[in-house]
Every structure is written in structure tokens, then in C-alpha cells.
Structure 1
Amino acid sequence: MASISWPVLLFILVSAQVYTTSATTGGHDNLTAALECLPDQAASLLRLKQSFSFDYATTTTLLPWEGGTDCCRWEGVGCDTATGLVNALNLSNHGLYSYGIDQALFNLTSIRLLDLSMNDFGGSELPAAGFDRLSSLAYLDLSSSGFSGQIPISVAKITSLVSSDLSNQYVYENDGIMRNHLLVWEPNFQTLVRNLSNMRELYLDGVNISSSAQEWSSALAEHIPRLRVLSLNESFFSWIGDLKNLIFLTLSHGDFSRTTNFWIGNLTNLEELIILNSFFSGPIPTEIGNLKNLMVLTLDNCSLSGSIPVWIADLKQLSYVDLSYNNLSDSYKNTFAPSYKNAILDCIVKGLDPKFDITEIAKP
């Protein structure tokens, strides 16, 4: 599951005017004029609760979710203080189990923040209809909750989305093989994103987008031009060079050994680049030297060979590097910038110390 960035969270909370049980502690006098939860909102939440079983390993039972009490003070629930409408529901990692999302959820049409991550929906499919009713939703997190099948087109109708995390864990099937279950390829990726121009963060870890080929990258560039954060770990991507406004990118399990023109050099606004468990079969790509705004660089377990290039020292904003678990040599010692301790770099090359911070070891 990805954590929501502070700018996006601030935008959502300010827009939503959320208050929850924890927010009312010690400040009851300030909320005496706030409306209590509306009866229809409480009824929908109670119906949603009835659709859940609770993991035997947790004592969570969604207290005090009981009829006749103010649902705006229930665990994980936030309300607009002026209207009494529920506008936030955060049930992340509550040990919930269900065979699907109950339609009662979609009666909460004023909701701005929805987080059902790290629960267990038993391999069920996302509802084909219902998400389109959540027309104010800005933050959606359904990650690591065991959903399967296709991402429904109703998600594409939530034009207010700012951050969406549909990342999915792999699931062991009856034959003992671990497979990805969440797909994105029908009707097509362009249809899925063409109305999501407000999106700033998109997490699709473990979502199979392979059949969309390069079309998904151009669709993101065309329809979500202000996308800043993209995570595609284990997503079977093939091209991403169109997304020139990204500032954060994380990828894994890619094969770049046959790429003649490494696309990463196009993403000149990148500040953080994380590539894990991928295959380059060669030296560190020189195109990374184009990323003058780069502050964090991770190329971990990427089958890199050769020496650490001198041009890394020309990335003046760079403050954190991880080049561990590759096949890099120590031939850089006579040419690399003298401001870096060779002993520390030896640790990176050999994988003895997976990470280091340049700001801690650089000397004039």
C-alpha cells in the first residue's frame, strides 16, 4: 500500500472539512454546533458493517458502530461539520473480511476519502456499478485487499480523483502458483483514464497492464498531464517515456536489456527514481545523467555491470543512492569524484551495505 503524500492529504482534508473521534478529544466545546450524522448515513454504515466478518487475529470490531449513536464519532468515520454528511471512511488494516463491497457504501455520496486497504475481500471483483456515485471522491485506496478481475469503468467516472491506489498483492491459487488477479485492460486503458485529469498520484503495483503495450503511457500523458507520482512495481509495463511531468517513479521486474534508447532520460523533472529487481545487462544507463533534479536514485538488483560512472557526481541534487546487489566493479576508484569515500562505495558495489547517504559521507 502506498502512503498518501502530504500535499494531496492536505488538499483532501481541507476540502472535506473532516472531523473524527480522535479530532474531537479535548475539543468538544468547539463542535457543539456541528450536526450529528444523518440517519440514512448511519444506516448505510451499519449495513456495510454487517457485510464484514472480522479476522480472528484482531480484536477490531469497529467500535462504537451501534445504532442510536452519532456515526460521526465512530472509528474511521469523518463528517462534514456543517452538513453531518459522511465524507471520510478509513478502515485500513482493520482485519475485515468480505466476499465483496456492499452496495451500501455507495450511498455515502459525499465521501471524499475512502481507504479499505489491507483487508481481505476474498478474491471478489470490484462492483461493476457504484463507484460513479462517489462524485466527490478525491482519495481512493483499495490496495492489498485481495480484489480480482477487471478495474470497472465506473472508477473512470470519478472525475474528482486526486490519488488512487489500486495496487494488488499476488494470491496463491489452488495449484500453488502465485498469480496477479487484478487486470486493467478492458475496455482499454485510455477509456479508464480519459476523465481523470485531476489525478496527481497513481499506484498500480501488481496490476497487469501488459496488454495495453505503449498505449497506456501515451494515454496517461494525454489525459493526466499533471500526474506527479507513479508506482508500477510488478505491473509488466513496456514504455513510460511520455510521462515527462513525473517527479516520483518506482518500477520493478522490468526487462530493459533490449532497449536501445532508454526512455528514462525523457523524464527530466524526476526527483526520485526507484528501480528494483529488473534486468539491464550492462552499465548504468547514461540517460540517467539527464535527470538534473534527481535527489534519490535506487537501482537495486538490476543486473548492472561495469563501473560506477563519474557523471553521477554531476547530479548536484542527489542525496541518496542505492546501487546494491549488482555486478559493478571497483574500477571507478581512480576517476570517481574524490568527495566520496571509496570504502563506502565498496560496500555498495559488493552489496554489503545496501544503502548509503551521500550527505553523510561527502567531504570538501
Structure 2
Amino acid sequence: MQPLQFTCKKLPIPLLGCAVLLLISLASSCTEQEKNSLLQFLAGLLQDAGLAKLWQEGKDCCEWEGIVCNGNRTVIEVSLEYRGLEGSITPSLGNLTGLQRLNLSCNSLYGGLPLELVSSSTIMVLDVSFNQLNGDLHQLPSSASGQPLQVLNISSNLFTGQFTSATLKGVENLIALNASNNSFTGQIPTHFCNMSPSFAVLELCYNKLSGSIPPGLGNCSKLRVLKVGHNNISGTLPDELFNATSLEHLSFPRNGLQGMIDDTYIFKLSNLAILDLGENKFSGMIPDSIGQLTRLQELHLDFNNMYGELPSTLSNCTNLITLDLKINNFSGELHKVSFSNFPNLKTLDLLWNNFSGTIPESIYSCRNLIALRLSGNKFHGQLSKRLGNLKSLSFLSLANNNFSNITNALQILRSSKNLTTLFLGGNFMNETMPDNAKIDGFENLWLLNIDSCLLSGEIPFWISELANLEILSLKGNRLTGAIPAWINTLEYLIYLDISNNNLTGEIPTTLMAMPMLTSEKTAAHLDKRVFDLPVYHSPSLQYRKPIAYPKALYLSRNKFTGVIPPEIGQLKALISLAISFNNLTGPIPPSICNLTNMEVLDLSNNNLTGEIPAALENLYFLAVFDVSNNNLEGPILTGRQFNTFPNSSFAGNPRMCGPGLNHHCTSVEVGLAPTGSKGLVFVGVGVLYDQMVLSRYFG
């Protein structure tokens, strides 16, 4: 998996029944003490992003930007989120004796969190999330009984340490704690339930917590949200946990949990709306009692070791919006589940299981379905015309099944006008690629994958009409003919894989004029596009945005002839280029040295001649390089990143010489060798070479 990057896109923490504060700002003057406290906070900042100009000396601070007072001239709220503030938080804000809400989130504040704020006798809501604050939370002093703090959000900072029984001791009114995305260690705390009878929200995702789930969490009678995903939690789900019957959101993804989901306990959590146990080691079947969770909206059991058929009782979960069971060992047919009972279903992900039979007709009743992934199973038959009823469908992956009649499939899918992502590869074996004017309606597609089908025919003309296409994979077929001249009319195409076919002719110069590959600047609208589901190339490599794909041309294992076009140097944005196993002749064009973003370059198994251009040493990001099995001559490059490539990258060129090869360079040849900075090693990162050799597209 790619590491998750956090941005300041905040969701509100539910106050869960606490009284809503009615904040009325009246035209009155705050006290000098409060004004000075605010100005001391301002003075402690290195960067105030213009706040000082807004807080003018002599002006009533109750009218300052981000300040709210009550009718008694007392500051009760400071809201300075998203202000671009940089520096430390001074304790002076603790002198605001009437302060009830403090929000400094989404800035660049660092240092510790002042104890005066956490132990305040007035603050009810404290939000310092998405900053760079640090320190050990367990060092905070015990507070006086009756401390009013209800909501504490310290997520997305650099806090460390453990949660001990003394952490926030005395916060009897605490309702919600969000400490996600820090570096907390130790075990999941349970003492908040004992200290605060109204404690309802505990979010600890993306930390370094370990140990097992403490049974004491079952004593949290008011707990409604428990999120501890992306930690190192192990063991099983304790029976006592199911005593927390108020739970609405139970989330433990990407941990080391194991065991089975007990049929005799899960039904007790009748208020659950979200159950996320994905990316663990759970086994067994989905229990029949899952059907008693009638309020369930999201069920995530992906990336586990679960098996068996889906229970028919799942049909009782009529509020389902997301059902994610991908990458397990589930089997059988889907007809036991009545998908027509799920009018709100938007996402159904069954990737990489052992489901068989035909697609149940009831799925076509899910009119709100946006993302449907059935790839990597054993479904068969032709697609039903009713698939066209899914007018909201944007993401469809049927790859690696046993579907037949590709012409019929495309005719049906053309009515799904909202399709942006379409995976059909690994089906329709040995059929013919349809090429006629009647296949249209795919004008909104970003990604089209019809690979590994052994289809005959040529690259079809109807693809030229896909004006928004960014990613095209037709690899692993038996396509013949030349690369069509219209290829550069796909102005947004950044990724083209037509490897492992029987394509012939020369590599056209039109391919060297692809708009998105000739410019290092990416069209702004591409950056905003997001797949409805992550696209998997392998279990550990996924893409969430089309623009994250490498800018690549994969032309290997065809029958191309002629030379590598000198115009190749125009593709300045190119990151991966693979033209191996063809019949190319002539030299490696010097212009290829202009591709300074290149990370993967594979020219192996051709009939290339001449020497390796010395300027290739300037491709500092090059991580994979292969010119083996050609007719190249002269010394191998040995400077900079070329020190890191194995001898196999140059093998099979009888007239090439250098260290590790059978032919050792003469003094004349050594004199002609390029003189790079041999002490420097540049290792490119980013594109994985796996993309060039994967035999199966995950989808």
C-alpha cells in the first residue's frame, strides 16, 4: 500500500448530545487583561499571516477576527483555524477566564501543548489538530475535579508517549478524544470510560499502539465511536467488547487481529452503522446474526482470511451503502443475497475471491451503485442488458473472470454514461476486438483496461473518441497492425501499455507528440480526479488518482521494426519507457538523454547498434536500465547511477566491454569511456519495475 498522506480536511467531531453553545457577539469591549493575553499569543508567533493587521491596537478585541465575546465583554471563543500561523502556543491564552472554545487547527504550530489550556477551568472544546505539536500527553498534571473539557482534538500532530491512568485525570465531562495520526505507544486506554460517564468518542488511528483490545472497553456504556485502525493491535475481539451496545462506529482496520466474528455476540451491537475490520487476519464465515445489524451502512471485511458463502441474512441490512469484502476466500454464488434490498448501496467490492456463477439480477436494482468491482473471481456468462440500468455507475471492474462476448458487453456498457473507470481484462478469451462505429458513449472514461484477453484484430478506432482517456492498457492480446496515427489525439493520455501483442511497423513519430508526455506540466483538471475505488496493480501497489500513474509507454514484446525515433527526446515528462523484445535497429538516439525524469528504461532484446550515449549519465533518477541482448559496442557506462546496475543490464552485447563482462576494455576503449563522477550514486524512486512484468492486472 502506498503510505497515507494526511491533509487538513477536517470532519467535525460529534458533540453527541452535549448542549449547543449559543455564541452571541455583541458590540462591547473586552477587558485589558484579555486583550493583552491575545496580544501575547500573537507575539509568540513567528508568522501571523497578517493577523496582526486585523488585530489593531486600540480596537475592541471583541471585534477582532476569530474572536467571539458574550454580553459581559468576556472572550468565550477563539477560532483561528486555517490561518497560516507558525510558531508556538503561548500559555497566555489560559488567562482568558471565560474561554469556552479554542480552535487553532490546520496551522503550523509547534512545541508543546500548554498545560494551562488542557487544565483550564472554562474550556469545553479544544482543537489543535493538524499542527506540529509534540510532547508526551501523560506528562499533563492531574486536573481538579469537574474540569469542563468535553472535546479534545489533538490529531495529526507529533505527540508521543503512552496513555496512562493519570492521562487527563479528572476530566469528568470528557465526551470526545481524537488523538489519531500521532506516535502514541502502549495499549488502548480504558480509563476515560471510568473517569467520564458520558465518554462517547475515542479515535486513536495511525499511531503505534500495541497489545490486545482491553476488555474494559465493554464498560463504556455511552461509547458510540471507537476507531483504532492502522496500529499494531493483536489478539481477538474480546467478548466483553460487545457489551458496549451504544457503539455506532467500530473500526480496527490494518492491525493484527485474528480469530472469528462470533455469531453469539455481534448481534448485540444493534446500533452499529459502520463496522470496519479490514486488513487483519480474521478467518471463518460471516455469521448469520449479521442480519440483525439492521442499521448497518458500511461493512468492511477486506484483506482477511474469511471464507464460505455470504449468508442470506445479509439481505436484512437494508441500509447498506458500502459492502467491501475484497481479497478473502469467499465462495459460492451470490444469489442467496437479495441485493434489491439495498436501495442505498453505492459501493460493492468483491475483488479477488472465489465467487462463481452469474452476476445476480438483483444487483441491477441498485440504482445508486457508483462502484462495482467483481474482478478476480469465477463469474461467467454474458453481461445482462440490465447492467445498463445502473445509470450512476462510475467505476466498473469485471477483470479476470470468465465472461464472454466482448461486443455485447461494450454495447451494453455504452449506455452507462457516467463510467470513468472500466476494467474488462482477463475475459473474452480468443475473441475479436470489436472495431465499428456503433461503439460509442464512453466519452467520460479516464481508464480503459482490456488486457490479457488474447483478442485478435487491430487497435480499434472507437478508442480515438475517448476524449478524456488518461490510461489505456491493451497488453496481452494478439492485436496486429500498426500503432494508429490518431494516437496523439488523445490529449490527456499519460499511460499507454500495448505490450505483448503482434503489432508491426515502425514506432510512429505521432507517438512522440503525445500532449501530456511532451509537457512536464500536468493539466490542472487531472489532479482533481479520484478513482471511486483504489486501483490495484498488486496487493502492495495501488493508485487512488489517475495522475498518480507513471507517465509511461510500454511497447515491449511486439514486432516493431525500424529505429527508435530521434523525436523520443520530446517526451520530457516520460518516466517509464519499455521497448524490449522487438526488432528495432540503429543506434540509441542521443535525444533520449533529454528525458531527465526517466526512472525505467528498457531497450533490451532488439538489434540496436553503436555505443551507449555518455549523456545517459545525466538521467539521475534512472533506477532500472536494461540494454542487454543487442549489438551494442564500446565501454559500458560506470559513472553515477550506472554503478548500481547489475552486469545483466549489459549482457548479450558481444562487442561491449567493461567490468564484469567477458570482453575487457583495451586502453583505447578505456580512453573513450565516459568519465562520470563515480563516487556519486543516484537511485531513482517511484515507479516499480513490477509494472513492466506483471502477468496479471489486479484492477
TM-score (ref. length: structure 2): 0.37
Cα distance in 2 for partners of 1:248, 1:298 equals 12
Q: Would you say 1:220 and 2:335 are equivalent positions? A: no
Matches of 2:240 and 2:413, distance apart in 1: 48
- What is the percentage of aligned positions where both structures have the same residue? 21
Specify which of 406, 411, 418 is matched with residue 293 of structure 1: 418
Q: Secondary structure at the match of 1:137?
A: coil
Q: Which amino acid aligns with 2:326?
A: D
CA deviation after TM superposition for structure 1 residue 166, in Å: 1.8
- What displacement does 1:160 show? 1.4
Name the structure 1 match of 2:42.
none
- Higher helix proportion (structure 1 or 2): 1
- The structure 2 residue matched to 1:205, chosen from 319, 326, 330, is 326
Task: Tell me if 1:267 matches 2:390.
Answer: yes
Q: Pick from 356, 375, 378: which aligns with 1:252?
A: 375
Deviations 1:245-284 (A, max 9, x none): 2221011223455437576445343121123323346535
Which residue of the partner structure matches residue 289 of structure 2? Answer: 154
8 Å Cα contact 1:127-1:152 kept in structure 2: yes
Say if 1:184 and 1:208, in contact at 8 Å, map to a contact too.
Answer: no
Matching residue's letter, 2:324: Y
The runs of 5 or more residues in structure 1 that have no matched partner are 2-9, 43-57, 78-82, 171-180
> What pairs up with 1:46-85 in 2 under 5 angstroms?
60-62=185-187, 76=204, 85=222
Q: Which residue of 1 aligns with 2:246?
A: 110
Change (3 A) 1:338 1:120: closer
Q: Are the structure 2 counterparts of residues 229 and 17 from structure 1 closer, same or farther at C-alpha, using a change threshold of 3 Å?
A: farther
C-alpha distance in 1 between matches for 2:248 and 2:375: 31
Give 3-state SS (helix, strand or coil) of 1:210's partner.
strand
Where is the strand percentage greater, Structure 1 or Structure 2? 2
3-state SS of 2:323 partner:
strand
Deviation, structure 1 residue 292: 2.2
- The verdict on how the C-alpha distance between 1:275 and 1:241 changes in structure 2, with shifts beyond 3 A counting, is same
Q: What amino acid is the match of 1:191? A: T
* Cα offset, 1:312, TM superposition: 5.2
d(CA) in 2 for partners of 1:252 and 1:273?
Answer: 9
Match of 2:313, SS state, is helix
Please say if 1:350 is aligned against 2:476: no
Question: How does 1:309-320 map onto structure 2 within 5 Å?
Answer: 309=435, 310-311=437-438, 313-320=440-447
AA aligned opposite 2:339: L
Deviation of 1:203 (Å): 1.0
8 Å CA contact 1:12–1:139 kept in 2: the answer is no
Note the alpha carbon deviations across 1:203-229, whole angstroms, 9 max, x for none. Answer: 12245553345232xx121x2222121
Change (3 A) 1:17 1:237: farther
Partner residue, 1:190:
312
Q: Call closer, same or farther: CA 1:237–1:281 in 2, change over 3 Å.
A: closer
In structure 2, the CA distance between the partners of 1:163 and 1:15, relative to structure 1 (3 Å rule), is: farther
CA-based RMSD: 4.4
> Deviations for 1:182-219, whole angstroms, at most 9, x for unmatched residues?
3344xxx322322x111111112245553345232xx1
Among candidates 82, 90, 103, match of residue 227 of structure 2: 90
8 Å contact 2:266–2:289 — kept in the other structure? yes
1:117-128 equivalences under 5 Å are: 117-122=253-258, 124-128=259-263
Query: Secondary structure of the equivalent of 2:256?
Result: coil
SS in structure 2 at match of 1:164: strand
2:289–2:313: 8 Å Cα contact kept in structure 1?
no
CA deviation map 1:303-340 (0-9, x unaligned): 55533645554223333323344434562455654676
Q: 1:126, 1:265 → 2: CA distance?
A: 37
**Counterpart Cα distance in 2 of 1:141 and 1:130:** 16
Following the alignment from structure 2 to structure 1, what is the Cα–Cα distance between the partners of residues 244 and 363?
A: 34
Cα deviations by residue, 1:110-150 (Å, 9 ceiling, x for unpaired): 2221111222233x211222222222211111112211222
Tell me how far apart the structure 2 counterparts of residues 17 and 249 of structure 1 sit (CA, whole Å): 37
Distance 1:273 1:87 in 2: 34
In 2, the alpha carbon distance for the partners of 1:30 and 1:15 equals 11
Corresponding residue number in structure 2 for 1:164: 299
- Structure 2 unaligned residues grouped into runs of 5+: 2-9, 19-100, 106-117, 126-146, 153-164, 166-182, 206-219, 468-485, 502-516, 518-536, 538-542, 552-699
Q: In the alignment, is the contact (CA less than 8 A) between 1:324 and 1:350 conserved in 2?
A: no
Q: In structure 2, do the counterparts of structure 1 residues 33 and 211 end up closer, same or farther at CA, with 3 Å as the change threshold?
A: same
1:307 to 2:452 alignment: no
What's the secondary structure of 1:121's corresponding residue?
Answer: strand
Contact kept, 8 Å, 2:382 with 2:404, in 1: the verdict is: no
Aligned partner of 1:130 in structure 2 is 265
2:361 is aligned, of 213, 238, 241, to 241
2:449 to 313, 322, 337: 322
Aligned to 1:279: 402
- Paired residues, what number? 304
Provide the TM-score with structure 1 as the length reference.
0.66
Q: Which amino acid aligns with 2:273?
A: A
Q: Deviations over 1:55-89 (max 9, x none)?
A: xxx98423666678777796628xxxxx9932211
CA distance in 2 between counterparts of 1:349 and 1:146 reads 37
Letter paired with 2:347: V
Instruction: Give the distance between the partners of 1:237 and 1:228, measured in 2 at CA.
Output: 22
CA contact (8 A) 1:269 1:291 kept: yes
In 1: Cα distance, 2:284 partner to 2:102 partner: 40
Write the letter of the residue equivalent to 1:197.
T
8 A contact 1:12–1:138 mirrored in 2: no
2:334–2:360 CA contact under 8 A, matched in 1? no
Q: Is the 8 A contact 1:253 1:276 kept in 2?
A: yes
Aligned-partner Cα distance in 2 for 1:88–1:228: 23
SS at match of 1:96: strand
CA gap 1:311/1:294 in 2 versus in 1, 3 angstroms: farther
The residue type paired with residue 265 of structure 2 is: G
Q: Bigger radius of gyration, 1 or 2?
A: 2
- CA spacing shift, 1:95–1:292, aligned 2, 3 Å: same
